[in-house]
Amino acid sequence: MPRLLAATLVALLAACSTTDTLPPAPADWEQHRARLAQLHSWSASGKISLRSPDAAESASLKWQQREGRTRIRLSGPLGTGATEIRSHGDYLEVRRGDELRRVDMSSRATILRDTGWDLPLRALPYWLRGLPDPQLPLQALAFDPDSGLPRALSQDGWQVRFEAYGEFDALPLPTRLVVENGATRVTLLLRRWQTGQD
């Protein structure tokens, strides 16, 4: 598994707080957001690709979320170079083969120091579900006029575009999203969602 993509995901799990006042949302949004907020245990699988000034990489992705615990598995073609990332809220464990690395998540500065990346990984469990992170400032939130679902949001300097949705267990969830900040672009294609325990 290329190290840059793993490092990006490692650094994509920290950030800060508060919410700005935004224009009114569609009438169904609060109900939809409440349903998604109740979704504490889920899994999603598909592909992830990263483009930055230094590299372009892609991998298969399996994301499992159990309350505040995250487990991400990245693998290349035929399972080569598998990397597993686990988060328990305060730290990350990154396992690649026999190598195990532990990263303190107490602050963004610590993550930047230990990984070289300043990316909001803690926000991704929200963004993957099509939600803003309630612990980050929300600069913008745009909705699709037909579906009433989020089309784009801006938080902490990151732009997130929800380019496609699918229905899983009667719940619309993103199947393609793009996360960008400057020259860094992460694209996620999620073909399969499970909205309960595996």
For each of the domains in the chain, give its residue range(s) and CATH number, in order of start. 3-192 (2.50.20.10)
Give tens-digit pLDDT for 42-80. Answer: 999 999 988 877 777 888 999 999 988 899 898 876 456
Structure tokens at 178: 């793009």
* Dist CA 162 CA 143 (whole Å): 10
Closest CA to 4 of 115, 132, 158: 115
Three-state secondary structure call for residue 48: strand
178 vs 112 pLDDT, higher one:
178
10 Å CB burial of residue 34 (0-12, 13-18, 19+) is: exposed
In this structure, the dihedral spanned by the alpha carbons of residues 38, 63, 160 and 116, taken in order and rounded to 10 degrees, is 130
